[in-house]
Structure 1
Amino acid sequence: MTTLHVLVDQVVAPVPGGIGRYAEELTRHLIATAPEGCDVAAVVSAVGSEDLRRLETLFPGLSELQRLPLPRRELSFAWQGGIVGSVAKEMVHAPSVLAPLVKHDRSRDPGRQTVVTVHDTVPWTHPETLTPRGVHFHRAMVKRAWKHADAVVVPTHAVAAALNEIHRFDDRLRVIGGAPSGRLRIPVDADLRAERLGLPERYVLAVGTLEPRKGLVHLIEAMAHPDAPSDVPLVIAGPDGWGDVDVYGCAERAGLARDRVKVLGRVDDADLAVAYDRATVFVFPSLAEGFGLPVIEAMSFGTPVIHSDDAAVSEVASDAGVTVARNPLESYPERLAQAVFQVVNDPLLAGQLAVAGPDRARMFDWNDSAMETWQLHADL
């Protein structure tokens, strides 16, 4: 039996973010699509028993759940320094840059493989939007990947091109994107959930971790701009991140009345599905991304989408959304406001986007991503 060891630490991280969602969905579908004679084992840092039980529940069908001796922070330091232990001797798939990367000879031991996933090049292009420790860690681990990884998965061709400018990975790069979660379905109690969440009849929705890179401050300023529709509030869903993004404080400074902005915080998949489905328009103002999963999620519900002109996001959205230029940055809120006004007040445009979005979203499927991942390891 050939076992693929998948690192699932990000799934139970304090703030899983988009990478945690990616790791969860990919692992689940790797198990479901495992070729004959292959299975999947999950590898995690020294997490507590509650997290172990959660992983066992999330991933039925695992051949093994391997708990490493080091906690996440210490494990990150160790692997960054090349101290990796026995897990590096296996066939390893890392859904992030956290990976046991050391020198090895795959020609002599073809079962020993390490594949790393680099989701974006933000640590190089927009380091000011990340913590200094995060920037250092990502840069160091990508450098180790350049030296020791057998292959590197990236979510878009835009990231592939940008990453190759930093380190020449060339034919070691493989583009494998994400997809909307199959668990994002409208629940039978949608009306009750919408009432409990306090969703207005019409609203602009934004989804993402509350951190500087996501561009939420620009969207808040946009909603306060005279060109924005004054009768449609802003609803923001997503967990707190770093950088002290105070939504209500930003709204107050921008002159946006408190009753025109609502923060849902972290929500479960059923609540998120309701929020997507009932939104008048979804706005993704992110300054830098590697994929932009919420764009495809919103499109899958037929919700009109407005997004930034980040190269990766534009690649994913194709022509199924309204693109807004980020630069010059000082007038970005004004352009966002105008785009929101246009979509909210143009039923023909909104209807066209509602048709184009689901068509585009259907191009992304987790089964396809998982099978491409299995094929990558087979090719190695």
Structure 2
Amino acid sequence: MHLIVNGYNLRGYPVGIANVVINFINSISKYDDVKITVAAFKDIPSCITERIVNRDNISIKKIGFKNPFLWLFFSFVHFVNFHKADLLWSPTPIVPFFIRKNIRRLVTVHDFVSRDFRDTMTRAGRLVSALVEPRAIKSADFLWCVSDYTCERLKNYYPRRRSENIITGSAPDLFFKKAEQNKASRNFLSSIKISKDYILFVGSLEPRKNLKFLLEIFAELKREKDLSLVVVGARKWGKTDIKDIINSDGFPKDDVIFTDFVSEDELRILYNNALCYVSTSLNEGFGLPQAEAMKCECPVVSPYNSAMIEVVDGAGVTVKEWDKGVWVNSVLSAIKNRNEIIKKQNERIKNYSWDKVAQKVYNVLKENLE
């Protein structure tokens, strides 16, 4: 079974979709009858290649243009059409035009931000999604959704499609786990000015993540407990009202720490040392930071919506309303009941492993490609 992997997302840091690609390749390559060819950019960074396991059945072909658009719609198309394989795997619903129709396709769907939260996307992003997403999903021979929630959304939006059965599943990186504090972790926390207990948020500034609400409840939470809020990945405020909130009269500005990009080592330290992880997101296709926090034995507080229900509810704390007082009490409860929550989360997170995901995909492909 020979798979060509669309390496479009392997251009920068190993985060987001790039992590999905890396982990899936590492897990499905454990099957002896699987051969994987990754079509990637000529300048694919070493921080990605170093994380892909060294197995004889994995090869990385650095091809074509360095411009992402030209690479995807010209170099990649040419490579796929003239490179014999059983299947093309696209880790996102982007399958460029002019791929030969006889080449079978596996397409992974992470969410439907392009439909449900169009205003959070760039104009270019909306255009690309409108042009390629429907066609990629409808014509896919195999579909893989990262959660049951995303699967149901797909069925609703695309009742007519080639692939009747949908594979579901995703998982946090194996790298995330419980680790004891040491000198290196203490030095890192000190370097970003963390000097007291803190709650953690990981994500972008797009409106869907609802960081504004988290900042508002943090101001009230500070009246109950002396702690900090650490926000990872949202340093550049851009065109939002976040800066206005931070600089408003009476806001505990000195206790909110914004970081730039952090490495996996540093993110694991932050998860491991946080009192709890708090998300106020309006929608998640899976809830990867929640799963990562669970792996690091960090209690999770999330809204009762989207895929966060299946990942968090019954293990961490889910909040069903948007009352600030209820959220403050929920965070305080999670901190107080850390040990009990961690035990439940440790059981829940066992359901999420890349080996289990790879086995699901492998079984479907094995049955249908031979």
Same-fold status (TM-score > 0.5): yes
Matches within 5 A, 1:221-260: 221-225=216-220, 229-238=224-233, 244=239, 248-253=243-248, 255-260=250-255
8 Å Cα contact 2:203/2:233 also seen in 1 = yes
* Aligned equivalent of 2:213, options 200, 204, 218: 218
* Aligned equivalent of 2:276, options 265, 271, 281: 281
* Aligned equivalent of 2:106, options 107, 110, 115: 115
8 Å Cα contact 1:297/1:361 also seen in 2 = no
* Aligned equivalent of 1:358, options 314, 328, 346: 346
Compute the displacement of 1:334 (Å).
Answer: 4.6
Aligned with 2:247: secondary structure?
helix
Matches within 5 A, 1:60-209: 60-61=54-55, 63-70=58-65, 71-76=67-72, 84-88=77-81, 90=85, 91-100=87-96, 112-168=103-159, 169=161, 171-182=164-175, 184=177, 186=179, 188=182, 189-209=184-204
Structure 1 CA distance for aligned equivalents of residues 246 and 364 of structure 2: 46
- Aligned residue identity for 1:128: D
- Aligned residue identity for 1:259: D
8 Å Cα contact 1:120/1:159 also seen in 2 = yes
1:7 aligns with 2:6: yes
Compute the displacement of 1:325 (Å).
Answer: 3.0
Structure 1 CA distance for aligned equivalents of residues 93 and 323 of structure 2: 31
Structure 2 CA distance for aligned equivalents of residues 306 and 134 of structure 1: 30
Matches within 5 A, 1:30-49: 30-31=28-29, 33=30, 35-45=31-41, 47-48=42-43
Question: How big is each residue's C-alpha offset from its partner over 1:253-293, in whole Å with a ceiling of 9 and x where there is no partner?
Answer: 48422211011221111211111111111101111110011
- Aligned residue identity for 1:84: V
8 Å Cα contact 1:211/1:242 also seen in 2 = no
The answer to which structure has the higher helix fraction is 1
- Aligned residue identity for 1:288: N
Structure 1 CA distance for aligned equivalents of residues 197 and 323 of structure 2: 23
1:22 aligns with 2:36: no
Question: How big is each residue's C-alpha offset from its partner over 1:63-98, in whole Å with a ceiling of 9 and x where there is no partner?
Answer: 32223324212345669xxx9334156321122123
Compute the displacement of 1:192 (Å).
Answer: 2.7
8 Å Cα contact 2:7/2:39 also seen in 1 = yes
Residue 109 (structure 1) aligns with: none
Structure 2 CA distance for aligned equivalents of residues 55 and 357 of structure 1: 29
**CA 68–253 in structure 1, closer or farther in 2 if over 3 Å, else same:** farther
**CA 133–172 in structure 1, closer or farther in 2 if over 3 Å, else same:** farther
Question: How big is each residue's C-alpha offset from its partner over 1:324-365, in whole Å with a ceiling of 9 and x where there is no partner?
Answer: 235xxxx55454333223333xx3x33321211121112111
Which TM-score applies when normalising by structure 2? 0.85
8 Å Cα contact 1:308/1:324 also seen in 2 = yes
1:314 aligns with 2:309: yes
- Aligned residue identity for 1:275: L
Aligned with 1:225: secondary structure?
helix
Aligned length: 358
**CA 137–254 in structure 1, closer or farther in 2 if over 3 Å, else same:** farther
Residue 260 (structure 2) aligns with: 265
**CA 76–86 in structure 1, closer or farther in 2 if over 3 Å, else same:** closer
- Aligned residue identity for 2:120: T
Compute the displacement of 1:233 (Å).
Answer: 1.4
1:325 aligns with 2:320: yes
Structure 1 CA distance for aligned equivalents of residues 18 and 126 of structure 2: 18
Which consecutive unaligned segments of at least 5 residues does structure 2 have? none
Which consecutive unaligned segments of at least 5 residues does structure 1 have? 107-111
8 Å Cα contact 1:236/1:265 also seen in 2 = no
1:337 aligns with 2:328: yes
- Aligned residue identity for 1:283: V
**CA 322–118 in structure 1, closer or farther in 2 if over 3 Å, else same:** same
- Aligned residue identity for 2:154: L
Q: Structure 1 vs Structure 2: percent identity of aligned residues?
A: 22
Question: How big is each residue's C-alpha offset from its partner over 1:140-173, in whole Å with a ceiling of 9 and x where there is no partner?
Answer: 3221123321111101111111111111246242
Residue 298 (structure 2) aligns with: 303
8 Å Cα contact 1:7/1:92 also seen in 2 = yes
Which TM-score applies when normalising by structure 1? 0.83
Deviates more, 1:132-141 or 1:366-375: 132-141
8 Å Cα contact 1:248/1:258 also seen in 2 = no
